[in-house]
Chains A and B, each alone.
Chain A
Amino acid sequence: GAVVSQHPSRVICKSGTSVKIECRSLDFQATTMFWYRQFPKQSLMLMATSNEGSKATYEQGVEKDKFLINHASLTLSTLTVTSAHPEDSSFYICSAGVNTEAFFGQGTRLTVV
């Protein structure tokens, strides 16, 4: 199957700092990637759809100025959590679709202290 690589897998940062998460499609080109967030015992919630060469589409309730998404190439999308707060601590995961199947990055566990 297709491979999606996400980095870092785990990050701890201080409140007020920014964290960048990278999502790469290694063996295919992804014009669209999806960013999800998962809180403990909750479902994966779509945050935004990342579109190569254009602005991301954010789901209702997700602050676009806080969660900056850049999809500058067909193989890389980045999510930057700006001015992180403890309530941003969560499991962030990206995915890309190939022939209707979703392939996921390994996920990033963000802890804001």
Chain B
Amino acid sequence: NAGVTQTPKFQVLKTGQSMTLQCAQDMNHNSMYWYRQDPGMGLRLIYYSASEGTTDKGEVPNGYNVSRLNKREFSLRLESAAPSQTSVYFCASRGRSPQETQYFGPGTRLLVL
């Protein structure tokens, strides 16, 4: 099993450009999450999807959109990138019971110039 995979690993964008970060999991998990991690700020939740067909805002959703394409895939879109969105982005997934904790992907490093 690959677990949680993310593409791309690294991306450089210019201000105003758009891009989509891809995430897929092969653990048949119901819930999927997008976080950003900045120095000194810890992990901050951008959006999450409790199940296929549902999405909800997290702590820092402004400037982002998400799509839960199917049970396996959860994408994060930046429509008009800003330097403040320079960060490391992590996708995570988890199963249905409370005892099943999150599994994280390897991250996407995004630099917006």
Check if A and B associate.
no
Q: Which residues of B contact A (CB under 8 A)?
A: none
